[in-house]
Chain A
Amino acid sequence: MRELWEFTQLIRSKNAGPFELTFDIMFKNSESFHEVMGAGQLSAALIAQLYHVRAEDVRFFVIEPLLAVKISIPRPVFSGDMDDTDVYGGQFHGPLVQMPVTRL
């Protein structure tokens, strides 16, 4: 079984303002993009489960011309609030890096 990072050239998270988080996933090439998207694990449902948000609040964009996926969610804790752990939101992508990708 391979992990998501083996197919990508960039996996990152970042604040999109203090109230939202956004994830950018850029694939190495068309083959990697289609293999991961075809396998189906990377989905709004997975993001909802991983980041404790409602599936309807997950915005999931597949940008094929850029071989990229962009996902945005409301921040579970607003940036800089008392119990926030990551003011810039730069490490929230961690769990996605090792997401298992099962070949078709």
Chain B
Amino acid sequence: MKEKLKALAATGNLSTGFREETLVEAVRQGASFVGCDAGSTDSGPYYLGSGKPRGPREGTKRNLRIMIREALQSGIPVVIGSAGHAGGRPHLEWTLEIIHELAQENAWHFKLAAIDSEVRKDVLVDALRRGRISPLFPAPDLQELSIHKAERFVAMMGIEPIQSALKAGAQIVIAGRCSDVAIFAALPVLQGIPKSVAFHAGKILECGSASVVQRYYPDCMSAELDQNGFTVEPPNPAFRCTPQSVAAHTLYENADPYHLVESGGVLDTTAAQYQAVSDRAVRVTGSSFIPSAEYTVRIEGATLVGYRSIVVAGIRDPLILRQLDTFLSSLRSVVERKIADSLKLRPDAYNLNFRVYGRDGSLGVLEPVRQLDGHEVGLIIDVIASTQSLAADILPLVWHTGLHHPIPEQSGLISNFAFPFSPPGMDAGPVYRFCVNHIWRLDDPCEPFQMTLENV
């Protein structure tokens, strides 16, 4: 059992980057491993649904190059979680391709573990039939049919699959969808650090330098863990942590400030103490880890909803602005008739949304301020249909009709929209929806995750 070990987070998101000198210095000062979170569901369902990484590829490659180079030199492991942003199989493969490229370019040799977290639909259907899947709140309805209709599912791994990879001697671990915290808790727990310490440290580390007082730019973060707690200190001398900044970070992106639900249990930070040990390092003690009766993993999935085409237009005529609601609703009825006549489509066969920036573009129906006080609005005409060509066919019917849609105060042909672009409209590609917010009860924490070991 290790007395102390030092966990180093390269940055909050692998694609964001860090300062090379900070990471180099932090590894040389004695890190036990380098971890980095590469993904999130924050950017919406597109990446999981489409299988596309969020990139950028060159930036991701640069960051991996520095991390792997330094780690190999110091003989410590690298753990990457939620590869390629959504952690599906194409995202994992994209990341592995970069790793192989780097190994070849730099003549590096190491043992590589890839952990696939994509879940086959028949496996999920079987789990659903066996009553192993339960909804969280709020959750979309999950049926066998909705599983079959979805594009892709991933399960979010906890610490155990990463630990298996490390136990097998992997120096570089690339994990598919993974709990952010598990990236940083896996190795410490394997080496005997209590889960209460390792999971809380993981929660602080997973966002990189986000828990400093003022994050001038994304960079590394490190924590020294022992049996009783951990000390978090930014390796970049320009940054500092205070008890307030570290404690406040425990709140970030988490619905409950004291209870962080992870696979295998709940981290309870109710009794956590945050003490300054210098003007830039903070000692954290007092959290507890409550093991759960059953081991569960979160499932994520995305379903294709349709294809989007949009137009951006400005409206500046005060006469239109003062009757904007009436204008848009009468435009909608004229357009619905046109679409029915020319494309034989009923209104329920497509989605037409007028997004009015300057009124309720950001909040939609939740906007409490209903009156318009500005002298112009930005309008996005948002069309979603079952195919891209259909959306692209509907769109000009809407914008061209709207361009000349009459108002009572003006007689003669008017042009209502200021289009900044030619062509006015553009195709925005496939649209997905998160179709599951459920947990899956497992007998073995590694069950849905396939590990592949390779000597690169």
Residues of A at the B interface (CB closer than 8 Å) are 10, 14-20, 22, 24, 26, 50-52, 59, 61, 63, 65-66, 68, 70, 72, 74-88, 91-92, 94-95
Task: Give the residue of A24, A51, A82 whose beta carbon is less than 8 angstroms from that of B252.
Answer: A24
**Which of B24-47 touch A at CB < 8 Å?**
41-46
Interface residues of B (CB under 8 A from A): 41-46, 136-140, 244, 247-248, 251-258, 305-306, 351, 353, 355, 360-369, 384, 431-434, 437
Q: Give A23 Cβ to nearest chain B Cβ, in Å.
A: 10
A53–B302 Cα distance when bound, in Å, is 25
Closest A residue by C-beta to B258 = A61
> Do B41 and A18 have beta carbons less than 8 Å apart?
yes
Determine whether the beta carbon of B361 is less than 8 Å from that of A95: no
Chain B binding surface SS class? loop
Q: Is the CB of A83 within 8 A of B366?
A: no
Among residues of A, the one whose C-beta sits closest to the C-beta of B49 is: A80
9 intermolecular pairs with C-beta atoms under 8 Å apart: A20-B255, A74-B137, A76-B365, A79-B41, A80-B46, A81-B305, A81-B434, A86-B362, A86-B363
10 other contacts beyond A82-B433, A95-B363, with CB at 8 A cut-off?
A17-B255, A50-B368, A65-B247, A74-B138, A78-B140, A78-B434, A82-B305, A85-B361, A92-B366, A95-B368
Which 4 residue pairs spanning A and B have beta carbons closest together?
A: A80-B44, A72-B255, A16-B255, A85-B364
How far apart sit A77 and B355, CA to CA, in the bound complex (Å)?
15
Q: Which of the residues B41, B362, B437 comes within 8 Å of A94, measured between beta carbons? A: B362
- With the chains together, A75 CA to B366 CA distance in Å? 11
Min C-beta distance of B381 to chain A, whole Å: 14
CB distance from A63 to the nearest CB of B (A): 6
Residue from B45, B253, B258, B355 within 8 A of A15 (CB atoms)? B253
Contacts A18-B45, A50-B368, A68-B248 given; does A83 touch B353 at CB 8 Å: yes
State whether B43 touches A88 (Cβ < 8 A).
Answer: yes
Chain A residues, Cβ within 8 Å of B258: 61
Q: Of A50, A51, A91, which contacts B362 at CB under 8 A?
A: A91
> With A19-B136, A85-B363 known to touch, is A80 a contact of B432 (CB < 8 Å)?
yes
- Given A22-B253, A80-B432, A66 and B244 contact (CB-CB distance below 8 Å): yes
A101 to chain B, nearest CB (A): 17
Are A79 and B434 in contact (CB-based, < 8 A)? Answer: yes
Q: How far is B244's CA from A65's CA once the two chains are assembled, in angstroms? A: 9
Q: What's the minimum C-beta distance from B436 to chain A, rounded to whole angstroms?
A: 10
